[in-house]
């Protein structure tokens, strides 16, 4: 029986160095981004180099957001990288909203200045720009209302890939699919099966919520569960998505009992730089995430810790600025469009808490929480076990769990998990003590319940392994 291995990468957000990689304006931009910008080209080169060398990888699939923000120069340069790879192995891709700059905010950076005069590609130009990739394997295509093409490719002797563009094709201009588009997808799934092929799919926006609706709802296609029902009932069992930059595997069962699994591929240029391998053989798909171990930037070797530190710097930069440099802190906030009024009055309070966050130990933090909760906030034995340990690295580990499918949680000591679970229930317990009516409390419990669910999902994922599993495609 035929065996095919594909490698999925997503949210490359390739950033052309021509847009500026030095100066204060660039520093502020990259310091607020979980992904590496200047280094994105080197990371993509390392990933594609590895995938070209791996003999068992048959082809690569890129699941959207190939450029930072749809800049024409970024597209031109990343297409060269894709073309060079495609001379060795097939490469299939979908683009998404960042690739035609739907936020209307393309930027370049020079010294202290941000310029908005960056040429981009509009939807039809973008669709044509990448149309050659996979052309020889094309089975069928569908043109969306925005002028993009969803495509079905024959990617192996007995495997088809449905690579669909969901950009603003849903009801009310949301990401998703028109009825005709969805019917075309259902027909492709049926046709693949009639021709003895397994079929898997990729779209950019989320079909299912990975961590929680509170985080993922806005990242999903409109009417996502209704679409999941349709696709599962049509016989699709595996969907790769991108967009959230959060590696995570999620399952859904339709009312008719049909299962579909979503693999949310994290961003290649942010922690943990995941590459998602799927091997399909005998109607089964074996999935494994193997992260990029390192790359070379301007002749210097960088390891996975560099990418992780870049991601966590989103928090630590802000904390250090708040604790140590008022003007730096103000500029970092303002570069994100956050204007605190009156800044001078509030800053000393922020500085106090930022300093505390940078230095406090688990023991001291637990004491503070227990002080205001009459000793019932967090487990005393767990806090004692980590008494002299600084708190911040554990906070950063939990932050990393958002992006790495809770890989960081595997290394976490048990007392940390105990304390995190206790903290997750604090909002609910506090609300329970407040003198509020039953109806009001029930309403607030919906939010506190989600907060609880999120923290638990991060430290104890509902699927025991977000980075390795096997799926029945029949
Ligand atoms: Fe993205
Ligand atoms: Fe996206």
Q: How far away, in angstroms, is 406 Cα from ligand 2 center?
A: 21
Determine the 3-state secondary structure of 274 from DSSP.
strand
Q: How far away, in angstroms, is 115 Cα from ligand 1 center?
A: 22
Say which ligand is closest to the CA of 219. 2
Question: Are the C-beta atoms of residues 156 and 139 closer than 8 Å to each other?
Answer: no
Which class for 388: exposed (0-12), middle (13-18), buried (19 or more C-beta within 10 A)? exposed
What is the DSSP secondary-structure string of 387-445?
TTSBSHHHHHHHHHHHHTTTHHHHTS-HHHHHHHHHHHHHHHHHHHHS---HHHHHHHH
Say which ligand is closest to the CA of 206. 2
Q: Note the pLDDT of residue 373.
A: 81
Q: Note the pLDDT of residue 1.
A: 64
Residues by chain with Cβ below 5 Å of ion ligand 2: 65, 243
Question: Are the C-beta atoms of residues 273 and 51 closer than 8 Å to each other?
Answer: no
Q: Where are the beta strands (DSSP E) in 282-359?
A: 284-291, 294-297, 300-303
Q: How far away, in angstroms, is 167 Cα from ligand 2 center?
A: 10
Q: How far away, in angstroms, is 305 Cα from ligand 1 center?
A: 21
Question: Are the C-beta atoms of residues 134 and 90 closer than 8 Å to each other?
Answer: yes
CA distance 167 to 102: 10
Radius of gyration of the chain (CA): 23
CA distance 143 to 387: 60
Residue 64, token pair as written in the block: 């959207």
Residues by chain with Cβ below 5 Å of ion ligand 1: 11, 65
Question: Would you write out the chain's pLDDT as a tens digit for each of its 474 residues?
Answer: 699 999 999 999 999 999 999 999 999 999 999 999 999 999 999 999 999 999 999 999 999 999 999 999 999 999 999 999 999 999 999 999 999 988 888 999 999 999 999 999 999 999 999 999 999 999 999 999 999 999 999 999 999 999 999 999 998 899 999 999 999 999 999 999 999 999 999 999 999 999 999 999 999 999 999 999 999 999 999 999 999 999 999 999 999 999 999 999 999 999 999 999 999 999 999 999 999 999 999 999 999 999 999 999 999 999 999 999 999 999 999 988 899 888 999 999 999 999 999 999 999 999 998 888 877 889 999 999 999 999 999 999 999 999 999 999 998 999 999 999 999 999 888 888 889 998 999 999 999 999 999 999 999 998 878 889 999 999
Q: How far away, in angstroms, is 11 Cα from ligand 2 center?
A: 7
Distances, alpha carbon 278 to alpha carbons 6, 119, 210, 238, in Å: 5, 36, 19, 10
Question: Are the C-beta atoms of residues 41 and 17 closer than 8 Å to each other?
Answer: yes
Q: How far away, in angstroms, is 414 Cα from ligand 2 center?
A: 35
pTM for the complete prediction? 0.96
Q: What is the dihedral of CA 98, 104, 108, 109, to 10 degrees?
A: -110
Query: Which has the closest alpha carbon to 286: 453, 56, 19?
Result: 56
Q: How far away, in angstroms, is 352 Cα from ligand 1 center?
A: 34
| Range 3-292 has CATH code 3.40.50.720 | no
For the chain, domain boundaries:
3-292, 304-459
Q: How far away, in angstroms, is 66 Cα from ligand 2 center?
A: 9
- The residues near 119 (Cβ < 8 Å, ≥ 6 apart) are 71, 72, 73, 106
Q: Give the DSSP H or E segment for 216.
A: helix 213-216
Question: Are the C-beta atoms of residues 292 and 310 closer than 8 Å to each other?
Answer: no
Q: How far away, in angstroms, is 349 Cα from ligand 2 center?
A: 36
């Amino acid at each position: 029986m035929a065996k095919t291995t594909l490698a999925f990468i997503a949210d490359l957000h390739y950033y052309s160095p021509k847009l500026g990689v030095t100066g204060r304006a660039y520093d502020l931009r990259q310091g607020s981004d979980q992904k590496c910008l200047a280094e994105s080209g080197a990371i993509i080169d390392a990933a594609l180099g590895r995938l070209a060398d791996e003999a068992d990888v048959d082809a690569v699939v890129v699941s959207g957001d190939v450029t930072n923000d749809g800049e024409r120069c970024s597209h031109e340069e990343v297409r060269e990288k894709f073309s060079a790879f495609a001379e060795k192995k097939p490469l299939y891709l979908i683009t998404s909203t960042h690739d035609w700059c739907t936020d209307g905010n393309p930027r370049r950076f020079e010294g202290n200045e941000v310029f908005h005069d960056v040429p981009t590609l509009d939807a039809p130009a973008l669709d044509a720009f990448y149309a050659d990739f996979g052309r020889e394997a094309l089975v069928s295509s569908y043109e969306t209302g925005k002028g993009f093409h969803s495509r079905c490719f024959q990617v192996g002797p007995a495997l088809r890939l449905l690579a669909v563009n969901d950009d603003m094709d849903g009801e009310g201009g949301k990401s998703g699919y028109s009825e005709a588009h969805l019917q075309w997808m259902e027909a492709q799934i049926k046709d693949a099966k009639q021709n003895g092929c397994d079929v898997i799919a990729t779209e950019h926006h989320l079909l299912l919520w990975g961590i929680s609706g509170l985080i993922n709802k806005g990242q999903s296609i409109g009417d996502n569960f209704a679409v999941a029902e349709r696709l599962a009932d049509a016989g699709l069992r595996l969907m790769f998505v991108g967009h959230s930059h959060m590696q995570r595997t999620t399952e859904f069962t339709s009312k008719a009992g049909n299962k579909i699994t979503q693999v949310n591929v994290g961003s290649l240029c942010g922690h943990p730089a995941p590459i998602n391998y799927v091997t399909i053989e005998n109607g089964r798909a074996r999935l494994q995430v193997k992260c990029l171990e390192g790359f070379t930037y301007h002749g210097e070797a960088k390891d996975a810790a560099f990418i992780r530190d870049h991601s966590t710097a989103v928090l630590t930069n802000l904390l250090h600025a708040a604790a140590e440099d008022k003007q730096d802190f103000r500029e970092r906030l303002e570069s994100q469009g956050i204007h605190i009024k009156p800044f001078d009055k509030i800053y000393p309070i922020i500085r106090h808490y930022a300093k505390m966050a940078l230095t406090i130990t688990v023991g001291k933090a637990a004491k503070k929480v227990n002080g205001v909760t009459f000793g019932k906030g967090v487990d005393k034995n767990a806090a004692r076990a980590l008494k002299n340990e600084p708190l911040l690295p554990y906070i950063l580990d939990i932050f990393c769990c958002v992006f790495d499918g809770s890989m960081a949680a595997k290394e976490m000591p048990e007392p940390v998990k105990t304390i995190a679970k206790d903290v997750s229930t604090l909002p609910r317990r506090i609300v329970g003590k407040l003198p509020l009516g039953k109806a009001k409390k029930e309403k607030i419990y919906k939010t506190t319940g989600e907060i609880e669910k999120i923290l638990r999902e991060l430290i104890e994922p509902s699927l025991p392994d977000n980075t390795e599993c096997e799926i029945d495609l029949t």
